[in-house]
Structure 1
C-alpha cells in the first residue's frame, strides 16, 4: 500500500509541475504579444510622423524648385472676398474673432502635401474652432501653377474666395481638398469642375457663385496673396503657425500630431477664456 501512495504523490507533483510550466509558457506568450503590439504601435506612429515630415520636405522642394516663377503675377483689379481680414485683407478667417489663439495656414489647392495636412488634421482643427479655442486664418498661394504650369491653383483659390462671398468658404475648402486631383493633373483649371464640386456644399451652386468663378472676380486678390507668400520667406506649402510660431512639420523638437496639436493649443490658451461660437459646417 505505501508504494501506491508514493506513486500517487509523485504523479500529482508531476501534474502540478506541468501546469506550472504551461502557465509560465502562456504568460511568456502574452508578454511577447504585448511587446509586439507596442512595437507595431511605435512603428505606425513613427510612420505617420515620417510621412508628414517627408511631405513637408516635398512641400519645400515644390515651393523652391522649377525656377519658372509664378505665371499668374500679372497685375489686375484686387477684389477681396467678403470678410477678408489681416494685412491687406489677404486672410480668410474661420472661427470666432475673439478665440484666444490663431492658427495661420498658407496653402495651395493643388499642393498634395496641403491635402495630406488637411486630411490628417481637418477634424481636429474644426473641433478646436467649434469649441472656441482657435480661429484659423487661411492664406492662398499658387505655387504649383508656377512650378508645373496650368491655372488650377489660381482658379481653385478664386472659387474658394467666391465661396467666402457666399459664407461657405470652410465647407468648400474642405470639398476641394477631399477631391484634389493628382498634382500634375490641372483639373482645377476647369471652372466647370469647380462649379460641379460646389454642388457638394448645400446652397453654394447659385448663379452668383457661378458668375464669380467664371469671371475670375478674385483673381487679382489671389495673385496678391501669392506675392505675399513669396515675399514672406516661407519654405513651402503648407505653412502652419500657431500664434506666429511654426508648428509644421514640428514645433521645437516635437513632431506635429493630433495629440500634440491639441496640447499646444491648450498650452497657448492656459488661463484664457474660449470664445462662444456656432459650429462651422464642413463640406461633404
Structure 2
C-alpha cells in the first residue's frame, strides 16, 4: 500500500513539474515576444522621428505663399525709348516672366540680391537684356533666389510682394534694391525693406504690409530649393532655351546666343566693347 502511495505521489510531482515547465516556457515565450515587439516599436519610433526631422518641415511646415501677379511693364531700350511688354509670375510662382510670349528665345536668369557678382553682371547686362526683350526676340524668366547672405532673402521677398500687387514696378524696385550698399543691408530687417519700398514708387499698402511681415520669405526659400534641386552651381546663372551656360556670356555673347537659337538679332544694338584693362 505504501509503495502504491509513493508511486502515486511521484506521478503527481512529475505532472506538477511538467505543468510548471510548460508554464515557464510559455512565460519565457511571451517575454521574448514582448521584448521583440518593444524593440521593433522602438526602432519604428526612432525611424519615424528621423523621417519627421528630415521631411516634417516640408510636409507640415509653413507653406510657401502663392505669388500671383500680371500686367505690363515699361522696358527702356538702349535707344531711350520705352516699350510696354507683358509681365507675370510663372504658374508655379518660381519665375518672373518678362517679354512677349511669342518671343522665339527664352532666357532663364538666376540672381541673388546679396551676391556681389550678380550686381556687377546686372550693371553690365541689363541694357542688352532689355534690348532683347524690346526687340521681341527674347523673353526673360527672372529667378530671384538666396544663396549668399540672409538679407538677400528679405530683398527677394520684397520684390515678390511688389510682383503680387504692382508688377509694373518690377524694374525700378529691382534696380533700387540692388543699389543699396551691402554693408547697409546686412543689418536690415523686413521692416527696413518695407520702409525703403515707399521711396521706390510703391504705393500699394499690401506690399508694405506683406514685406514687413515676411509673407513671401518662405517662397524665396522654396524657389531657392528648386534651384538647388536643379543643380544650380551659383549666381548669377543663365540658361538659353533651357540650356544652362557653363560660362556667363558678355553682352555681345548673349546677343550671339539669342541669334544662334532662333532669334533675329539684326536690329539689336551692338554693345560697345569693354575698355581694355
Per the TM superposition, whether the score is higher than 0.5 is yes
Q: How does 1:1-284 map to 2 (within 5 A)?
A: 75-83=61-69, 84-85=89-90, 88-145=92-149, 151-165=150-164, 166-167=166-167, 168-182=169-183, 186-187=186-187, 189-202=188-201, 204-247=202-245, 249-250=247-248, 256-270=249-263
CA drift of 1:178 comes to 2.5
CA drift of 1:153 comes to 1.6
Residue 117 of structure 2 aligns to a residue whose secondary structure is helix
Residue 110 of structure 1 aligns to a residue whose secondary structure is coil
Bigger strand share: 2
1:220/1:270 CA distance change after superposition, 3 Å? closer
Residue 90 of structure 1 aligns to a residue whose secondary structure is coil
1:212/1:223 CA distance change after superposition, 3 Å? same
Are the counterparts in 1 of residues 194 and 209 from structure 2 also a CA contact under 8 Å? no
Residue 241 of structure 1 aligns to a residue whose secondary structure is strand
CA drift of 1:232 comes to 1.3
1:271/1:134 CA distance change after superposition, 3 Å? closer
CA drift of 1:248 comes to 5.8
1:206/1:161 CA distance change after superposition, 3 Å? same
Over the aligned positions, Cα root-mean-square deviation in angstroms equals 2.6
Residue 182 of structure 2 aligns to a residue whose secondary structure is coil
Deviations 1:116-141 (A, max 9, x none): 11011011111111221111112222
1:173/1:185 CA distance change after superposition, 3 Å? closer
Are the counterparts in 2 of residues 80 and 90 from structure 1 also a CA contact under 8 Å? no
CA drift of 1:173 comes to 1.4
Unaligned segments of structure 1, at least 5 residues: 1-71, 146-150, 251-255, 275-284
Match of 2:272 in 1: none
Structure 2: distance between partners of 1:217 and 1:192: 12
Residues matched between the structures, number: 188
Deviations 1:62-117 (A, max 9, x none): xxxxxxxxxx989312222224215x331111222222111101111101111111
Moved over 6 A (4+): none
Which fold has the larger relative contact order, with Cα–Cα distance below 8 Å and residues 6 or more apart in sequence?
1
Structure 2: distance between partners of 1:270 and 1:157: 30
Unaligned segments of structure 2, at least 5 residues: 1-56, 70-88, 268-277
Structure 2: distance between partners of 1:91 and 1:125: 16
